Amino acid sequence: MEFSPNITERLARARADLRMGVPVVLEGGAVVLAAETLTAERLAALRNLGGEPSLALTSRRAQTLKAPAYDGDVARIALPADASLAWVLSISDPADDLRAPMKGPVQSLRAGDAAMHRAAIALTKAARLLPAAIVLPIAQAAEFARAQNLTLVPASAAIDDGLSPLNPIVSARLPLSVSEAGRLHIFRPDDGAEEHYAVEIGRPDRSKPVLSRLHSACFTGDLLGSLKCDCGPQLRGALAQMGAEGAGVLLYLNQEGRGIGLANKMRAYSLQDQGFDTVEANHRLGFEDDERDFRIGAEILKRMGFGATRLLTNNPAKVAKMESCGITVVERVPLKVGENAHNHGYLATKAEKSGHLL
């Protein structure tokens, strides 16, 4: 019997390690430490290994720093010999960009391969950390990982863009205010990431297009009633419409903050308070406009037996993704609710920069 973890389980360990500040090792030869959870002690220990460590950033963050990203989507920043923990954090985190705009000197590396740095960025994003990591090339990576009791993963697996299989765990009747004929389904991915939910209203006919919505979790809007977004009103409006029609499926996907996690979402909010719009804030943090994976919603609908939908959304990207995943979208049903004085600019940015039909 084989008890050792497979590659999916090792990647889950790697994400957890990085969140705790523990280094991980990439097959092919590199030690990786997440910039956000880096400590002065581990930075010093890394330097004691010798070699030339560098800081991996996304091209979005590099653009803010006016640093060339010679590798396209990733920039490799040379780590100065006297670089402190504070220096690493100032380069990685835009929190004090306006207070201290003159960073550096920052030197982008041009020679060499960026595969390890690209894998490091993918791991930090998957761990819902700032997309920045210290990378140190090492020889005999497997031996080093064993000696230090560190998680070892292939770089290629870290950047694999495949969708982890989703498994139905349980479903149970859940009477709701919009419909007493409610049912909650729980789906768990194989990769140990967040579970996702499907709220089924009534008994939708699997042979017909189902009224559905891809709704990404929004702690601040859905639970706290935040006025900075329209998420809460959209959630309640979608459920109300499904209740009124007597059938529907709301897919509640745990992809907070457009897929960057709640902590990074709050970082983006802080940047918005400094005058940046929602897209600009994401870019300064090192993220793309939208990091969500809508394939999850399409897969859940398939697992529930649906092949076509009337999709409640203002976002054409959701329609395109569902279609590309084999779910026929027979109708885009608008969901224009929740605009107020606090989120007017946010909604305008979604329309102008993200193509939402508002």
Residue type, 70: Y
- Write out the H or E segment, with its range, that includes residue 93: none
Q: 């690493």: which residue's tokens? A: 88
Q: Is the pLDDT of residue 29 over 60?
A: yes
Q: Is the pLDDT of residue 1 over 60?
A: no
* pLDDT on residue 100: 74
Give me the residues paired with residue 184 across strands.
Answer: 172, 199
Q: Are 64 and 284 in contact (CB under 8 A)?
A: yes
- Percent above pLDDT 90 for the chain: 85
3-class secondary-structure state, position 29: coil
Please indicate whether residue 47 is annotated as part of the active site: no
Q: Is the pLDDT of residue 357 over 80?
A: no
Q: What is the pLDDT of residues 62-96, one digit of tens each?
A: 999 999 999 999 999 999 999 999 999 999 999 98
Q: Is the pLDDT of residue 58 over 80?
A: yes
* pLDDT on residue 356: 74
Catalytic site residue from 292, 295, 303, 310: 292
CA 132 distance to own-chain centroid: 14
* pLDDT on residue 161: 83
* pLDDT on residue 354: 65
Cα dist from 191 to 15, 32, 188, 307, whole Å:
10, 20, 9, 25
Q: Is the pLDDT of residue 105 over 80?
A: no
Please indicate whether residue 292 is annotated as part of the active site: yes
* pLDDT on residue 353: 66
* pLDDT on residue 249: 98
What is the rounded radius of gyration, in angstroms, for the C-alpha atoms of the chain?
22
* pLDDT on residue 312: 96
Residue type, 257: G
Catalytic site residue from 47, 97, 290, 332: 290
Q: What is the pLDDT of residues 257-294, one digit of tens each?
A: 999 999 999 999 999 999 999 999 999 999 999 999 99
Arithmetic mean of pLDDT, 127-147: 96
Short-list 105, 11, 108, 111, CA closest to 56: 108
* pLDDT on residue 355: 72
